[in-house]
Amino acid sequence: MTTVSSAVPTHARHTRLALLALALGGFGIGTTEFVAMGLLPDLARDLLPDLWATNQEEALGQAGWVISAYAAGVVVGAPTIAASVARFPRKLVLLVLAAAFTVGTVASALAPTFESVVAARFLAGLPHGAYFGIAALVAASLMGPGKRGQAVAMVMAGLTVANVVGVPAVTFLGQQTNWRIAYLVVAALFAAATLSIWAFVPKQAGDRTATVRRELDAFRKPAVWFALATGAIGFGGFFAVYSYVSPLATGVTGTSEGFVPFALMTLGVGMTAGNFVGGRLADRSALDAIFQLFGAFAVSLLILIVGAGQPWSLLLGLFLVGASAAALSPAIQTRLMDVAGDSQTMAAALNHSALNIGNALGAVLGGAVIAAGFGFLAPTWVGLLLCVPGALFALAGAWTTRRVRQDDAVEDGAVVGAGGVEADGELEVACVPGRP
């Protein structure tokens, strides 16, 4: 695999400030991605006034395109931008992406019509995956060898903390003032992240040998596809629960609407804790961590199903679901980087395309079972069922990697035998860089 020399600050304080700057960008991304869920009625009321006056449910459904447009921007932007910017200096790329978030969010706040808001949200989502991908590579360089999983977790920490602090605070502000004010506040977060990256993140050269074709070579590796499917399906199960926490708390547990923010904050605290645990597990073995965490996720969902009738056990279940699901993210991203060979920028970005596919999948499946009359607990059962194909895709990826290693071992043995050296006996099999 190609290695790139980087100028890394030697002072520990500078390193911490650089990592915090990267996490601040993640905090802004987490806030802008999820705040629309809490402000959806305000968006529908303001942008679709005629439909809101006649059919509020239909207006809310149509306003959901604001959320879907952002997710679509992430899915499209992650591979295309990552493939295009891998050879450029990483700090410069991060500054451009953070500035693009700022402009896209301001455009979202100022767009005059529903259609223009949807378009602005799509554009705002384009830098999402590439930012996290490049930031993860920079963080890994700052933290040193053997800490890629923890580096990914550090960057993702901003997103998980956003669910605890940023999303509730900005949602409350938007409800008390106007949804446009909320988005302008998010834009200010991105502006602060841009300045922080400029001030604290050291210059790092890009991979000058990278090309669009080489980055796209990641898609030729079956193990990459299996890792992406693992992320999309696994997080589909999580978002099936996350998207319907409010009706679960009010309709099954029997709490008031005022209890819902506490439920969401508990979920966010679990995500924050699980994110760091997942990073450490991924540094030991990303593949082992994925299997272990799918097991933990399944157990957490069962606890939520059993405990949803009482507020305290609901909160316990939500904490565990958030922790086990968030722990999967750095493990899956590290796995993608393991199997992508030289396409490291692409691998680091693709994880976020997979997560947003999971976002859409979980919301659709969870809504479908509710609409079919199975009740507000049904999305949790959907999440449990999705653990099975998620784990199977991970197993298929492991099998693919093993087969490639065996093929490489056979080829190496043949070369040794042809050279007249003893080819019998036991052959140590090692992962070949650039092969899945």
User: What is the DSSP annotation of 372-385?
Assistant: TT--TTHHHHHHHH
In this prediction, residue 358 carries a pLDDT of 85
Region 263-290 average pLDDT: 88
In which band, very low, low, confident or very high, does the pLDDT at 9 lie, cut at 50, 70 and 90?
very low
DSSP secondary structure code for residue 113 in this structure = S
In which band, very low, low, confident or very high, does the pLDDT at 213 lie, cut at 50, 70 and 90?
confident
Q: For residue 48, give the 3-state DSSP assignment.
A: coil
Please check the confidence at residue 186 and state whether its pLDDT lies above 90: yes
CA distance linking residue 37 with residue 63, whole number of Å: 10
In this prediction, residue 408 carries a pLDDT of 55
CA distance linking residue 66 with residue 401, whole number of Å: 39
CA distance linking residue 361 with residue 52, whole number of Å: 26
Please state, as a whole number, how many other Cβ atoms lie within 10 Å of the Cβ of residue 58.
13
Q: What mean pLDDT value characterizes the chain? A: 82
Q: Lowest-confidence range among 98-112, 139-153, 230-244, 248-262?
A: 139-153
In this prediction, residue 424 carries a pLDDT of 40
In this prediction, residue 6 carries a pLDDT of 46
- Kindly report the pTM of this predicted structure: 0.75
Which two tokens mark 3? 């290695």
Report the share of the chain in percent with pLDDT over 70.
Answer: 88
Report the share of the chain in percent with pLDDT over 90.
Answer: 29
Please check the confidence at residue 21 and state whether its pLDDT lies above 60: yes
In this prediction, residue 16 carries a pLDDT of 85
> Are 322 and 156 spatial neighbours (Cβ–Cβ below 8 Å)?
no
Burial of 423 per CB tally in 10 Å (0-12, 13-18, 19+): middle
Please check the confidence at residue 40 and state whether its pLDDT lies above 50: yes
Region 33-60 average pLDDT: 83
Looking at the structure, give the CATH architecture of the domain made up of residues 211-407: Up-down Bundle (1.20)
In this prediction, residue 164 carries a pLDDT of 84
Reported as a single tens digit per residue, the pLDDT across 366-423 is 888 887 888 889 989 999 999 888 889 888 888 887 776 665 555 555 544 544 444 3
- What number does CATH give the domain 11-209? 1.20.1250.20
Please check the confidence at residue 293 and state whether its pLDDT lies above 50: yes
Please check the confidence at residue 309 and state whether its pLDDT lies above 50: yes
Region 133-150 average pLDDT: 81
In which band, very low, low, confident or very high, does the pLDDT at 432 lie, cut at 50, 70 and 90?
very low
Please check the confidence at residue 98 and state whether its pLDDT lies above 90: yes
> Are 332 and 285 spatial neighbours (Cβ–Cβ below 8 Å)?
no
CATH 1.20.1250.20 occupies which residues in the chain?
11-209, 211-407
